Structure 1
Amino acid sequence: SPKSALKWAASIPHRHRNLEAAYRISLKSLARRYLELHDEIAELDLMIKAIVEELAPELVARNSIGHNGAAQLLLTAGDNPDRLKSEASFAALCGVTPVPASSGKTIRHRLNRGGDRAANSALHLIAIGRLRTDEKTRAYVARRVAEGHSKLEVIRI
């Protein structure tokens, strides 16, 4: 009816004011939470840095290994390092051991999908960082590519 339409039209500005106030409150709350989380992350990063510097300063002194990556590798290794008897056992723990994925005359490998995915990610980031900054790593990649491997395969290796 025309009366209800007029009544509805008269209420629109009021609704917009309520909606705008709700948006402001929501955005203010989100901004406050963002700042709290940002500060909390900064504090935790400082704690992680202090712990890693104390436990394994030689690890973060190496090229392209940051405090968070080192912390993840230390967590993966755990407090029982005697179970890690070789590089191969650590690679298996991190899920970076090669798994045969050959078919026919093609011989190739893929990475193990098991293991600690966070450690796998940390190792990948370290490999990419070294690929960008370390001459030895670049030479290794060039040599393996010359042997017929793809760049992605070399990063996996």
Structure 2
Amino acid sequence: MTSEVADDTADQDVFGGVDSHADTIHVAVISDNGGHLADAEFRTTTAGYAAALAVLNAHGLVIAIGVEGTASYGAGFTRAARSAGLQVVEVNRPDRSERRRIGKSDRIDAYAAARAALSDGPPVPPRTTPSPAYAPCTTPPAPPSKPAPQP
């Protein structure tokens, strides 16, 4: 990649996707409108994770990374990405009908994970109080029950 390309893409928002395996991870990068930017395969080592993160960061501001198997094969990459301050979201592998339609490969799965991260978007913080619009819909508390008669 030339520095001219890096200068052109440095300000854009990007999303990543990772298809993880025991020995390798395949990383894909897409733009915020879903356009394919890059993909590459790396070893599941500390150096491999660092190189994968460098590829992601070289294409713009990483908003989120979708990872298949954050608690299994993707756990090492997930730890590395989170320690670098990046948001990681768990994504499901593509369903069988999609796999039959578009095929199965590490590259395809990595791009699918990136699209899942894009479509999920940033997490919405949970509400701490209900909206006032819903106040009239609440059910009033039930009256206290009568004590059971004594025999």
Question: TM-score band (shorter)?
Answer: under 0.3
Q: TM-score, normalised by structure 1?
A: 0.20
Give the structure, 1 or 2, with the largest relative contact order (CA under 8 Å, sep 6 or more).
2
Query: Which has the larger helix fraction?
Result: 1
Structure ID, larger Rg: 1
- Kindly indicate which of the two structures has a greater share of residues assigned to strand: 2
